[in-house]
Structure 1
Amino acid sequence: MEITHIPAGSRSAADIDEVLAEVVDFATIINRASGLGTDFDPRSDEVRQELLSDDGYVTHQTWIGRLGGAIVATGIAYLTLRDNLDLADVWCSVHPELRGQGLGSELLAEMEASLAAQGRTQLTSYCEIPTATRDADLRGAHLAAESGAGSVTAAQPDVAFLSHHGFAFKQLERCSVAKTATAAKLSRVDLNAGYTIETWTGPTPEHRLEQIAFLHQKMSTDTPDAEELGEEESWDAARVRALDAKREENRELVATALALKGESAAGFTEVAHFDDRPRVGWQGSTLVVRDHRGHGLGAALKIANQQAVGESTQVERIYTWNAVENSWMLAINDRAGFATWAWVGLWKKRLA
């Protein structure tokens, strides 16, 4: 197999545009084979952006494997540039008709060698399993998450591949979906004294940059088992502005709900959608800071933001992800109308 390595920014826009359609078509084949549904098909704009450049905080590296000139395997690594400099989030895929022939192993070995040479010795990865696939083999062998909550079917190809290549199954997440029409009928949560919620759509207002930066930084420490997946990230107003700029370039519109106690940030939640896929929303970060939990803020934030999205956009359904041991957030999602759609396994490997 001929493998081409494309770090973001290493090729001209013309070079990227020559391979873009082929890469997107292959990624679409992989998603259709996964059973997750067309809502999860790749977006051409997003793939182009990842191939072409980074935002100064996160960069992407792509590997393309070919046989006879046709793409048969791809890999991608997400690398932070300001913190967790030994970490890489990796994922590789092989054409469904060519699996079991060692192509994935060959591609992963190439990726690991390159990343190790760059000092990226802590790898994280994931696998996605539709509910119907997992439920079809409930009596088969299962692999338990090291978090102590949840399991995945050991025979699932992604699970078997990651296990075989030395990745440890750290955590199971539940992917859920909710309809905005359902959220519109929900009652808003009465807040405890001293708490307020603000909502907006688009870039973060200047007077809220510091609060949003604080909450993004807390996302790397205050979520379940966060320490397993990297160290605390560093966020400031400039990084929030850079994230907003990247979203605008990607034609991504984000609705945000922010919980405050006085002027102190207590929690937030985000939902994104894209103008070329207007009926599908994607839950972004959601967090209630540890010191402010137990006041109903999670449900209040989710419901307020879902209703704002339903009122101001064409979004009909929103997907979200949560660790299965995060029972309080799952209960909030149930209250906000979410139902299980798929399962996601989170994995980690330390390179020698």
Structure 2
Amino acid sequence: MISVREVDPFDEPTFGSWYDAFHAAAVDQRPAAVVANREALTFSLQNPGPAKRRIPVGAFDGDRLVGAMLFEYPLIGDPDTVEVEIDVPPAERRRGAGTMLWRWATARAAELGRTIFQAELGVPATSDPWPGSAFAAGLGFTIGNIEDHFVVPLPYDADRLAQLTKDAGDLTGYRLTSWAGPCPEEHLQAYADLRTAMDLDVPSGEMTRHPEPWTVERLRPNEERMAKNYLALVTMAHTTDGTPAGYTLIYLMPGDPDNALQDDTLVLRDHRGHNLGTHLKLANLTQLADHRTTQTLLHTWTAQSNTPMQKVNTRFGFTFAEELHELERHAPGATE
């Protein structure tokens, strides 16, 4: 009989079994899957931050762990929301582990007074119904937003970089500043403002999102925490008089020898039309070349509705890997 309970991230043998199940299910049939490595996830769970509560939950058949769930809820913004990731390894499926984990999630959410469930699901290109999609639909989740997951090989092609640089032309009226690691003190306020603008600008479809503004007081501890497992590579654009205009961000993960993550790219609306996004990406790719070690793929995710960034990705040589479905379910009777 399957039972469900929280897993102590300090209990190394049990947490190790939990992570193995979590990882095995998440990468199954997904060649380009990116999953937090064990060291990074262990640190995150053992050292909870102020913005989010994260709970590892296991499904057990006796003493054997047969399913894993990461149950999360924000402590800053979106007070009605929980996020769930349910992962059951292929050999353990169709035995009720996923359903039992879901029941635990709904009970805990009710205790917390939270009524909106969100999840993300990587769906590779396949003609067959994707098991995770069928499971989520059966629980009542619907797709609120779809992003395309793209990859480009590393090291980045030098000839393409040279051609892109030539095509971009001179950058007039702006200056670029790049850094690796935490933001320099003199750019903290501008960077916080840009991060807030990014949260408000990024397409989210029908997903329920109420992002909280980034402040210097929130940004600095977040960066220090992230720096334990990620190296942030940032390039920011300013006008010649110092007004912030945009930024781009890549993460390198020392514990992941294969993957680098192209995260945010933002150009503020008043500064669009100057090829600034291309210049930002070019500068950060140069910075990536200086810090890359063994990573062989650079990943990025772009909403299907974001036509301008889709075109930029094509120019930079990114190719489609899979879709990322953002899912949402409201508890019966709940209103936003």
Residue of structure 1 aligned with 2:176, choices 197, 201, 222: 197
Within a 5 Å distance, the mapping from 1:48-197 to structure 2 comes to 48-131=42-125, 133=126, 136-137=127-128, 155-185=129-159, 186=161, 187-188=164-165, 189-190=168-169, 193-197=172-176
Partners of 2:145 and 2:326 within 8 A in 1: yes
| Cross-structure match for 1:344 | 324
CA offset at residue 348 of structure 1? 0.9
In 1, the alpha carbon distance for the partners of 2:205 and 2:305 equals 12
Q: Mean Cα displacement is larger for which, 317-326 or 86-95? A: 86-95
Number of the residue aligned with 1:259? 237
1:17 paired to 2:12: yes
Note if 1:31 corresponds to 2:26.
yes
In structure 1, distance between residues paired with 2:29 and 2:47: 28
Distance in 2 (alpha carbons) for counterparts of 1:110 and 1:278: 35
For the residues of structure 2 that align with 1:184 and 1:239, how far apart are their CA atoms?
38
TM-score normalized by structure 1? Answer: 0.85
Contact 2:81/2:114 (<8 A) preserved: yes
Indicate the percent of aligned positions where both proteins have the same amino acid: 25
Who is 1:309 aligned against? 288
Partner Cα separation in structure 2 for residue 197 and residue 184 of structure 1: 21
Return closer, same or farther for 1:33/1:279 CA change in 2, 3 Å cut-off. Answer: closer
> 1:177 touches 1:317 (CA, 8 Å); kept in 2?
yes
Quick one: structure 1 residues 232 and 226, their matched pair in 2 at CA, closer, same or farther if it must change by over 3 Å?
Answer: farther
SS at structure 1 position matched to 2:11: helix
- 3-state SS in 1 of match to 2:5: strand
Tell me the secondary structure at the aligned position of residue 229 of structure 1: coil
User: Is residue 2:188 matched to residue 1:209?
Assistant: yes
Residue 143 of structure 1 corresponds to none
Unaligned ranges ≥5, structure 1: 138-154
In 1, are the aligned partners of 2:68 and 2:86 still within 8 Å (CA)? yes
TM-fit CA distance, 1:230: 0.8
Aligned partners of 2:18, 2:219: CA distance in 1, in Å?
A: 30
Q: Identify if the C-alpha distance between structure 1 residues 256 and 67 changes in structure 2 by more than 3 Å, giving closer, same or farther.
A: same
The residue type equivalent to 1:118 in the other structure is L
Stretch moving more, 115-124 or 204-213:
115-124
For residues 327 and 264 of structure 1, the distance between their equivalents in structure 2, rounded to whole angstroms, comes to 27
CA deviation map 1:276-307 (0-9, x unaligned): 33442112222222332232222222222122
- The whole-number CA distance in structure 2 between the counterparts of 1:276 and 1:219 is 27
Q: Residues 88 and 124 of structure 1 are in contact (CA less than 8 Å); yes or no, is this contact kept in structure 2? A: yes
What secondary structure, in the 3-state scheme, does the structure 2 residue paired with 1:221 have? Answer: helix
**From 253, 260, 278, the counterpart of 1:281:** 260
* TM norm structure 2: 0.89
Matches of 1:276 and 1:341, distance apart in 2: 22
Aligned residue identity for 2:202: T
1:298 aligns with 2:277: yes
From 305, 308, 325, the equivalent of 1:325 is 305
The aligned amino acid for 1:310 is: A
Runs of 4+ that moved beyond 6 A? none
CA-atom RMSD in angstroms: 2.1
Query: Greater CA deviation, 331-340 or 193-202?
Result: 193-202
Cα distance in 2 for residues equivalent to 1:225 and 1:253: 26
Aligned-pair CA distance for 1:239: 1.6
